[in-house]
Chains A and B, each alone.
Chain A
Amino acid sequence: MSVAEGAPDRVRGATRHVFTAMGTGISLAVAGDLPAGAVAAVEDAFETLDDRFSLYKPESEATAVARRVLPVEQASREFQETYALAERWSVRTGGAFRSHRPDGSVDLNGVVKALAIRRAGEALLARGVTDWCLNAGGDVLTNGAQGDGMPWVVGIVDPTDRQALLTQFTCSAAYPAVATSGTTERGEHVWRTHEELPERQFVQVTVAAPDIVTADVLATAILAGGQATLERALEQWPLHVIAAEAGGGFLATEAFRA
């Protein structure tokens, strides 16, 4: 299916709000009306985290840490907690997910966007908004259902034809989050591991998971670590995964198979 020709128009009875933050496009679809303040709260979730964690903002705390002007030990509690979260994921993925750049500087971009998505979702729920689909740069978190009661369905971009969809995933309460990492992305948090040469390398990895941080981190980690990381992840976490190989093949769990 071509997105360009047949753009999805299936957000039945939904209100959409689109804005730009963290250098990417963010789209919020809500089934029904958006209460006053909800949009501002969602935008604030992204902007607040971006102010602290952006490496593109010279005055941000993350920039100070990356430049080693500010030691992590003296950073804010929020920064330390986020650093610890990223470190935990690094450990749990055997180093495939990384919280440092190759030069050793701290880079938390791999978790910050997902944390912003999570926080925005919390803001919506706190305001009684229960049926929504939030897409930040291709990472999607959903809650509830579309206006007609149908579940939110997320299309997955075809890595060989970015105007087309490869497949789709139907979100549920158990699997509300979908994230995709690809070799064409900005590359700020994808570094391949060299310690082990996986049997299969991927050009795009999509992970559906119980929460957006898990989905986003593991998509990144599997892209970096290849098949070995994919298999370890499937042993440890409840996931649905489709990974596209450079040669045109795929590794896919049942949910993505026809």
Chain B
Amino acid sequence: MSTRRTSAAALASVGILATGWGIGTAHGKTLTSTTATGTGASTTTAAGTTSKTTTGAAAGTTSGTTSGTTTGTTSGTTSGSTAGSATYVGSRQSDRWGSLQVTVTVTSGKITPITYTTTAGDGKSLSIEARATPTLKSEVLAAQSAQVSSVSGATYTSAKYLTSLQSALDQIG
């Protein structure tokens, strides 16, 4: 006797995918998020029919460049995938960096972000800091030991970390 069961993969392939962006700002003023739930009937497409869309940025402003010139993960537009795939469009979310809308497909339980549209935010509100220029060590601003109160460095393993820089700091307390 066999019992028909819905496999996890099948569930996932028709599952509701939430694409809610957590929008946070500095100093903890707001941390809001919106969850866009694709309905089960939302645009179901055959794999490979999607296309990447980028919306150009405002011209003339210093920050007016389209973010993320490529998605970096273009593997989603696979061909030959016979499994059904569902496409979900996230709600457009804005923060200080602009707005973004992502479209996600779920194919056999695998999630692949395949398209996005983005627009730059209001460049006037941003103060973009020039360029990074080649610099010799002798040209780097020296640390003033009398001023430093904490140290930023690559994460170490716990034991290593605690016995090196941070512990040096923490003994002061």
B83 at interface, CB cutoff 8 A: no
Q: Which 10 A-B pairs have the closest CB atoms?
A: A95-B72, A182-B154, A16-B173, A157-B153, A122-B28, A211-B26, A165-B143, A73-B15, A155-B148, A185-B154
**Among B35, B137, B141, B158, residue most surrounded by chain A Cβ atoms (within 10 Å):** B141
**Contacts A7-B172, A8-B148, A239-B129 given: A180-B97 contact, CB under 8 Å?**
no
**Contacts A177-B26, A249-B134, A250-B134 given: A256-B141 contact, CB under 8 Å?**
yes
Interface of A is mostly: mixed
Shortest distance between the CB of B18 and any CB in chain A (Å): 5
Interface segment, one of A35-43, A47-55, A79-87 = A79-87
**Among B68, B109, B126, residue most surrounded by chain A Cβ atoms (within 10 Å):** B68
Contact of B173 among A4, A18, A80, A81 (CB under 8 A): A18
A90 at interface, CB cutoff 8 A: yes
Shortest distance between the CB of A131 and any CB in chain B (Å): 11
Cβ contacts under 8 Å, A24 to chain B = 155-156, 158, 161
Cβ contacts under 8 Å, B148 to chain A = 8, 10, 153-155, 165, 168
Contact of A25 among B24, B90, B118, B162 (CB under 8 A): B162
Interface string of B93-111 (1 = CB under 8 A from A): 0001100101000100111
Cβ contacts under 8 Å, A152 to chain B = 149-150
Shortest distance between the CB of A66 and any CB in chain B (Å): 13
Shortest distance between the CB of A168 and any CB in chain B (Å): 4
A139 at interface, CB cutoff 8 A: yes
Contact of B25 among A73, A74, A157, A211 (CB under 8 A): A211
B19 at interface, CB cutoff 8 A: yes
Cβ contacts under 8 Å, A168 to chain B = 141-144, 147-148
- B165 near A157 with CB under 8 A, answer yes
B53 at interface, CB cutoff 8 A: no
19 contacts between A and B (CB under 8 A): A9-B172, A14-B173, A18-B166, A24-B161, A27-B169, A73-B12, A95-B68, A96-B72, A125-B27, A133-B149, A150-B147, A168-B143, A178-B152, A180-B152, A185-B154, A211-B25, A234-B131, A242-B135, A243-B132
- A258 near B139 with CB under 8 A, answer yes
Chain B residues packing against A (C-beta within 8 Å): 8, 11-12, 15-22, 24-28, 31, 33, 35, 62-63, 65, 67-73, 90, 96-97, 100, 102, 106, 109-111, 113, 116, 118, 120, 126-158, 161-162, 164-173
- A18 near B168 with CB under 8 A, answer no
- B67 near A92 with CB under 8 A, answer yes
Assembled-state Cα–Cα distance A94/B25 (Å): 22
**Contacts A73-B12, A140-B150 given: A7-B129 contact, CB under 8 Å?**
no
- B35 near A77 with CB under 8 A, answer yes
A interface bracket (residues with beta carbon within 8 Å of B): 35 or more
- B172 near A240 with CB under 8 A, answer no
A201 at interface, CB cutoff 8 A: no
- A210 near B26 with CB under 8 A, answer yes
- A93 near B68 with CB under 8 A, answer yes
- B153 near A252 with CB under 8 A, answer no
- B153 near A20 with CB under 8 A, answer no
Interface string of A84-112 (1 = CB under 8 A from B): 11011011111110000000100000000
**Contacts A236-B65, A250-B137 given: A91-B164 contact, CB under 8 Å?**
no
- A234 near B132 with CB under 8 A, answer yes
- A95 near B71 with CB under 8 A, answer yes
- A258 near B142 with CB under 8 A, answer yes
Interface string of A177-197 (1 = CB under 8 A from B): 111111111100000010100
Shortest distance between the CB of A227 and any CB in chain B (Å): 8
Cβ contacts under 8 Å, B156 to chain A = 24, 137-138, 184-186
Cβ contacts under 8 Å, A138 to chain B = 151-156, 161, 165-166
